[in-house]
Amino acid sequence: MTLDKVTGHLSKNLPEGQVYCHVCPHACKLAPGQVGACRARGNVDGAVVPLGYGRVTSIAVDPVEKKPLARWKPGHTVLSLGGYGCNLHCPWCQNHEISQVGEQGVPWREVLPEDIAALAERLHAEDPRMAGVAYTYNEPLVSWEFVRDCAELVHEAGLANVLVSAGCVNAQVIAAVAPLIDAANIDLKSFSPATYRTCAGDLATVQETIRMLAAAPACHLEVTTLVVPGVNDTREEMDELAGWLASVDPAITLHVTRFHPAYRMRDRGPTPVPLVYELADVARAHLAHVYTGNC
């Protein structure tokens, strides 16, 4: 397999026009015209292409603290943009209106990488606290070629790139984008492989993403864990999760965040605030930088 600079697709040809997509562990086998589990990649003329390339559903200027990033350029803002689709299917998804749909499920407009870089430059000229561009809201790496192409132009403009991702993509994709990323927040949903399977994800793949970004010299890394009642809310799991993060890099910042009912998980109330604080204290036994969110 090779990483094609033009289309960026990772594919292996199969008989009768079918192809495998190798962007994530799903390894979707796609017939001509078929779309993958992420709803943002498909088989076009025998090649896997990012159907969501440049199709922006959401764009805003956000504080970096909203990503969340607690220890990277505090007080700055970023131009945040998202598309549609996600290769995970978490029942508690906070952005399901865009992440769990394809091109027919949400309004979008085409915005090219040069448009994004030019807008970021203009916003930075108006306010130097505008630090760069964040790829966020849905899962940006299902259209990682767009992230790469934008990020290259943003760097050429002297601005920064921020990645907010669930991190469930194969190592080839992370290797391609990591040199362009200045700060990242990876959503570590649980430390249980079984929980990841309920989300159509893979814990080992996310762990490898975290390892690779932690090792990237220019990338500041933070991690978020949303505490969902009855799913990942035990002291034992948080102790294991934070201990593993510390073994990768004790400087990693962890956000322990409160769940609010959403999407297909409205059968329970928000995470009790005292529990969020308790689990944050468990994590602090391993990590120096632990923050609570949504409390």
Residues 66 and 163 in one domain: yes
pLDDT of residue 58: 97
Which residues are bridge partners to 109 per DSSP? 56
Split into its structural domains, the chain has a count of 2
Assess if residue 215 is contained within a domain: yes
Q: How confident is the model at residue 16 (pLDDT cuts 50, 70, 90)?
A: confident
**Cα–Cα distance list, 183 to 128, 133, 211 (Å):** 18, 10, 14
Residues 219 and 244 in one domain: yes
Assess if residue 34 is contained within a domain: yes
The residue type found at 233 is: D
Residues 182 and 266 in one domain: yes
| pTM for the structure as a whole | 0.94
Assess if residue 2 is contained within a domain: no
Give the mean model confidence (pLDDT) for residues 266-287: 97
pLDDT of residue 17: 84
Assess if residue 256 is contained within a domain: yes
Assess if residue 146 is contained within a domain: yes
Residues 87 and 144 in one domain: yes
Average pLDDT, the chain: 94
Query: Which of helix, strand or coil describes residue 249?
Result: coil
Q: How confident is the model at residue 10 (pLDDT cuts 50, 70, 90)?
A: very low
The residue type found at 34 is: Q
Of 241, 40, 242, 276, which Cα lies nearest the Cα of 147? 40
Give the mean model confidence (pLDDT) for residues 251-269: 96
Long-range contacts of 258-262 (CB under 8 A, 24+ apart): 258/226, 258/227, 258/292, 258/293, 258/294, 258/295, 259/92, 259/226, 259/227, 259/228, 259/229, 259/294, 260/94, 260/294, 261/92, 262/92, 262/93, 262/94, 262/96
Residues 180 and 255 in one domain: yes
CATH number of the domain residue 154 falls in? 3.20.20.70
Assess if residue 220 is contained within a domain: yes
Residues 168 and 256 in one domain: yes
Residue 80 has pLDDT above 50, yes or no: yes
Residues 42 and 69 in one domain: no
Residues 76 and 129 in one domain: yes
- The length of the chain is 295
Q: Which domain holds residue 30?
A: 11-50
Assess if residue 260 is contained within a domain: yes
Residues 63 and 177 in one domain: yes
Residues 30 and 85 in one domain: no
pLDDT of residue 14: 65
Residues 104 and 204 in one domain: yes
Residues 118 and 33 in one domain: no
